[in-house]
Structure 1
Amino acid sequence: MVLLAGLLVLTGCGSAGTAPAPAAGGAVDHAAGRTEVPADAQRVVALDENAGLLLYELGKQPVEALGTFSSVGVKEILTQAGTPVEPADFAAPPVERVAALNPDLIVGSATPGAIEAYPRLSQVAPTVLAGYSDPWSKQLAVAGAAVNKADVAQQRTATLQTKIDDTRRELQERGIAGQSVSVLGSISGFPFALPSESSAGELITGLGLTRPKAQAPGAPMTEGGIAVSPERLSEHDADHILVLTGSMWSDKEITGLPTAGQLRGPKATVDGEQWTNTNPFAVDWMLRDMRAVLLNDGTVGTGADVVARWRQYSGAS
């Protein structure tokens, strides 16, 4: 199981960022350095599910993805699309297994384990690591440059950014802009809030919405989340309260607290796996949930919707 630190410390911005120069058999600047990549890699290995999903979005099927993040939903997407997902240690990528796949390119997220293993991975094949805490658009751009799909990355980025901009305008027109949104979760009895610096937090801010003071930028974090004291739960009250649920997230550990009455805003449960992720699909997922909660447009997604939502998002049949 991925620890809270693994899920949240790496979370980052959800807005557009500076993209690297596209490469066609040239050099790619990425989170671990600069790498010369092949012009048309045929055997690409994804070091984690996030990287695998980025590759699929770009139209490049990896021969295998490692289950570094223990992501149930993304694993289902990848396996149904024909890419096996093998268990892997978050702290230490299995370099020998990767080498046995005979890749001509390795693409992954810049987790601490991947950064540490980067020199050995680079001896196996050219390796590109996208910053997991980078804006979603930059992650997509780095992966696009690595597999000579920079044009696809730019198109996908423009499409998602337009959705975000359109929703922001609609919230303004409906008089909802400026309202506050609180995002709370609990794993194994540890209640926390998603920080403003997370991908979810950046999206909320980017839509012209606000956060409770206790979740404002710069709020102190523990293992990547803002620790929530049940006795001071009122500090996390908001106009809209989103509570994470799913395989390792317990919404009942928030709503069942004796002090839960301090949260007076309307509550909705949202999928913890997607709301703690940083890839473009997760940002689109969060945007759809926000539209459902704030604009009564559609429904909030659950883990059972992951494949259907991916097909809608990616345009896959």
Structure 2
Amino acid sequence: MGKTEVPMQPKRVIVLDTAPLDTAIALGIKPVGSIVPERFPDYLGDRTQGIEVIGKTNEPNLEAVARLQPDLILGNKIGLDRLYRRLTEIAPTVMAEGSGRSGEWKDNVRFYATALDRSAAADKLLQDYQQRADTLKQQIQQQFSKSPVVSVMATGSGQIGAYTTRSFSGAVLQDLGLARPPAQASGQRWAIQVSREDLTSLDGDAIFLIVSSFTPNSLTLDQFKSDPLFSRLNAVKQGRVYAVDAEVWTAGRSILAANQILQEVSQSLLARKPGS
């Protein structure tokens, strides 16, 4: 949002999104305050204990922010640029251009790490992630005769969506060299809406079904597999539909969530041999 002077080794950091929260924790910094969608993501475990909730998504309580006396505020422009001036009156504020939902999560990790004076540590985390991804990629290639086609989809509010290669989870799957259905591998959007009947956009050798307890009418894994239409999908017939958490696959958008995706892909695709 312009030039901002930030303190060396900030001590009282406030984060206004899950991505900088994930990043800060990964870098060994526990924020004093954070906004949350509904609650802290389960995948972060007890590492969020002691962090004060200062509002919900894109709605920070500015009085609560000021009361915590932060020396640095981290967020992104999406939905929060309108508050930038008021936030800078409280503490130096650094906002990433995007939230990471469009696949730019690694750039944001480096960006937040620079503001936190932890660039070297971030580089190490990303190197370790890439090494882990490369190893898993080789394991998948060894187990499958050709790269399995992986679909990533979600349901809720009477709609069906699919996440593309331009999404956060899509970027992680690209690091694994996993093929995607054509409709999920083209275009500029991070997510697409599809009809129930457009099965070719949804099907693959495996489906990662993003489920959320906060999205109205989000289908559970059992509901999805028993649906008369979805049960016709090849992945359902082969028993290769895996429920994954929206907190990780869509909302995490940083290094800890990316590593969690690697773990879940490994547990799913390598759990048994193809066709078994």
Q: 2:246 aligns with which of 261, 272, 281?
A: 272
Distance in 1 of aligned mates of 2:210 and 2:105 = 21
Letter of the structure 1 residue corresponding to residue 23 of structure 2 = L
Contact 2:72 2:93 in 1 (8 A): yes
- Compared CA separation, residues 44 and 80, structure 1 to 2 (3 A): closer
Whether 2:169 is the aligned partner of 1:237: answer no
Aligned residues: percent identity? Answer: 30
SS in 2 for 1:291: helix
- Compared CA separation, residues 76 and 171, structure 1 to 2 (3 A): closer
Q: 1:86 aligns with which of 54, 61, 74?
A: 54
Structure 1: which 5+ residue stretches go unaligned?
Answer: 1-31, 298-317
1:285 is matched with 260
Using the size of structure 1 for normalisation, the TM-score is 0.74
Q: What are the superposed Cα offsets for residues 292-313 of structure 1, whole Å, 9 maximum, x if unpaired?
A: 121128xxxxxxxxxxxxxxxx
1:263 is matched with 233
- Compared CA separation, residues 144 and 268, structure 1 to 2 (3 A): same
Distance in 2 of aligned mates of 1:177 and 1:208 = 11
Q: What are the superposed Cα offsets for residues 226-259 of structure 1, whole Å, 9 maximum, x if unpaired?
A: 1121122243211111112231342356434331
Q: What are the superposed Cα offsets for residues 124-176 of structure 1, whole Å, 9 maximum, x if unpaired?
A: 11111233126332222122211211121111111111101111122223335
Contact 2:211 2:243 in 1 (8 A): yes
Distance in 2 of aligned mates of 1:81 and 1:175 = 41
1:185 is matched with 154
Structure 1 window deviating more from structure 2 (44-53 vs 282-291): it is 44-53
Contact 2:151 2:204 in 1 (8 A): yes
| 1:132-151 equivalences in 2 (<5 Å) | 132-133=99-100, 135-151=104-120
- Compared CA separation, residues 157 and 42, structure 1 to 2 (3 A): same
Distance in 1 of aligned mates of 2:181 and 2:226 = 21
Contact 2:150 2:204 in 1 (8 A): yes
Number of aligned pairs?
A: 260
Q: What are the superposed Cα offsets for residues 185-217 of structure 1, whole Å, 9 maximum, x if unpaired?
A: 112221111122111112222211111122122
Distance in 1 of aligned mates of 2:48 and 2:231 = 42
Distance in 2 of aligned mates of 1:114 and 1:44 = 17
- Compared CA separation, residues 218 and 71, structure 1 to 2 (3 A): farther
CA offset at residue 76 of structure 1?
Answer: 6.5
Q: 1:112 aligns with which of 78, 85, 106?
A: 78
Distance in 2 of aligned mates of 1:78 and 1:141 = 24
Distance in 2 of aligned mates of 1:148 and 1:43 = 13
Contact 2:22 2:44 in 1 (8 A): no
1:195 is matched with 164
| 1:40-59 equivalences in 2 (<5 Å) | 40-59=9-28
Structure 1 window deviating more from structure 2 (119-128 vs 253-262): it is 253-262
RMSD in angstroms over aligned alpha carbons? Answer: 2.4
Letter of the structure 2 residue corresponding to residue 105 of structure 1 = L
1:207 is matched with 176
CA offset at residue 281 of structure 1?
Answer: 1.2
SS in 1 for 2:155: strand
SS in 2 for 1:125: coil
Distance in 1 of aligned mates of 2:68 and 2:133 = 39
CA offset at residue 280 of structure 1?
Answer: 1.0
1:17 is matched with none
Structure 1 window deviating more from structure 2 (251-260 vs 286-295): it is 251-260
Q: 1:124 aligns with which of 75, 84, 90?
A: 90
1:63 is matched with 32
Using the size of structure 2 for normalisation, the TM-score is 0.84
- Compared CA separation, residues 155 and 235, structure 1 to 2 (3 A): closer
Q: What are the superposed Cα offsets for residues 243-283 of structure 1, whole Å, 9 maximum, x if unpaired?
A: 12231342356434331133112212112221113111111
- Compared CA separation, residues 81 and 105, structure 1 to 2 (3 A): same
SS in 2 for 1:59: coil
CA offset at residue 177 of structure 1?
Answer: 4.7
